[in-house]
Chains A and B, each alone.
Chain A
Amino acid sequence: MGDYVLLAISCIFINNILLMQYLGNCPFLGTSKKMETAVGMAMAVIFVLVLAGAITWLTEMFILRKFGLEYLRTISFILVIAALVQFVEMFLKKSIPALYAGLGIFLPLITTNCAVMGVCLINIKEEYTFIECLVSSFAYSSGFGLALILFAGVRERILLARVPKPLQDTSIGLVTAGLLSLAFFAFKGMA
C-alpha cells in the first residue's frame, strides 16, 4: 500500500507530467486562459487517462506481447485512444448528459494530447503491474489537473497586469510556466 502512495506522490509532484516531463503543453497553454475551461480540461483528462492507461496496458500485455507485435505499439495505442475518446463521448452524450455538457468540447481535443499517449507509453516502459498502472495514470492526470488549474489562476491575474507588447499572450504564458515549474522543481529535493 505504501508503495502505491509513494508512486502517486512521485507522479503528481516530483515527475509532474506538465512541468517536469514536458508533456501536454498545447492544451496547457490553450485552455488555461479561463478557470472554467481549465477545470473542464483537467476533469476530462483525468477521466480519459485512467481508462486509456488501463486499456493500453491490457492491449500491450494480451495482444501485442502475446503475438510479438511490439513494433505496432505506436499505431495501436493511438487507435485505441482515439476510439476510446470517441466511445466515451458517445456514451456520455447518451447516459450522463450533464457531465457531457461539462466535458463535451474538451473530449475530442484529448486524442491529440500528448500527455495521454505519453503516460500510456511510460506505463509500459516502466514495466508497471496493472494496479501500479492505474495508480500512475490517475496520479499523472491529477498532476496535470493540478498544474493546469494553478496556472489558470496565475494567468487570470496576468490579464489584469500591463505586459509589454512583444511578451503578450503565449510568451508571458511560457515564462510564467517556467516560474511555476521552478516551484515544482523544489519537490525534486524531496526525492
Chain B
Amino acid sequence: MAKSVTQEFTKGLWAEIPPFRLVLGLCPILAVTKSVENAIGMGVAVIFVLVGSNVLVSMLRKIIPSKVRIACFIIIVATFVTVVELLMQAYTYPLFLKLGIFIPLIVVNCIVLGRAEAFAYKNGIIPSFADGLGLGIGFTISLTALAAIREVLGSGTFYGNQIFGPSFQPFNFMVEAPGAFVCLGLMLCAMNSIGKK
C-alpha cells in the first residue's frame, strides 16, 4: 500500500471519476439527471451506500469466505439501501417519489458492488472509507454536471429557478430519454479529449 489515504480519496474525483473513467452505473445517471435537485439527492444516497458498504465490507473482509463473497456483498449493500430508502421516505418524501424505483435499484448499481469487490475486500477500513467517499463525491459531481446541462437546456431552469426570460423555448429533447444518451455520450467524448488516464 504505497498510496496514501488522500490519494485514495482524490482519485475518485478525477483520475477514476465515475462514470467517465469507470464506465459503470449508467442507469441512474441517465434516469435521475432531469433536474439538478434529483441528481444531488441521488448522489447523496449513493455516497451513503458506497461509504457504508465499503467500510462494512472491509471490516468483515477476514470473516467473509471468498466463495460466497458476492452474496455477502449484496446483502450488505441491500441493507444500506433499505436504510436510505426508509430515511428518504421519512424526511424527503417529494424527492423519494421523484426518484421512485431508482433508490432500491442502487442495490444493483455496479459501482457499489464493484468497489466492494475490487477495493474494500482487499484494503483496510480507512482507505476503504476514503475510496468510497471519493468515488461517491465524484459520482455526485458527474450527476450534477450532466443534470445541469440537461436542466438548463431542456427546461430553462437551474435547481428549479427560472434563468432565462419568458421568450425562452425549452429544448425538450434534452430532458427526454434520447437527450440523456446523446448528452452523456458527448460528455464522455469531451472527457476523453481532455486527457487519458
Contact = CB atoms under 8 A, between A and B. Distances in A.
Interface of A: 19-26, 29, 71-75, 77-79, 82, 111-114, 116-118, 121-122, 125, 165-168, 170-179, 181-182, 185
Is chain A's binding surface mostly helix, strand, loop or mixed? helix
Most chain A beta carbons < 10 A, residue from B24, B25, B31, B177: B177
A113 B105 CA distance: 10
Interface residues of B, number: 41
Interface in B86-137: 86, 100-101, 104-105, 107-110, 113
| Nearest 8 interchain pairs by C-beta | A174-B185, A178-B181, A178-B182, A166-B193, A175-B185, A166-B192, A182-B178, A25-B26
A58 B12 CA distance: 41
B78 A112 contact: no
A22 B186 contact: no
B177 A121 contact: no
Interface of B: 23-27, 30-31, 71, 74-75, 78-79, 81-82, 85-86, 100-101, 104-105, 107-110, 113, 176-186, 188-190, 192-193
Given A26-B27, A74-B85, A79-B74, A121 B104 contact: yes
Contact of B177 (A111, A171, A185): A185
A177 B29 CA distance: 15
Given A26-B26, A121-B104, A171-B192, A75 B177 contact: no
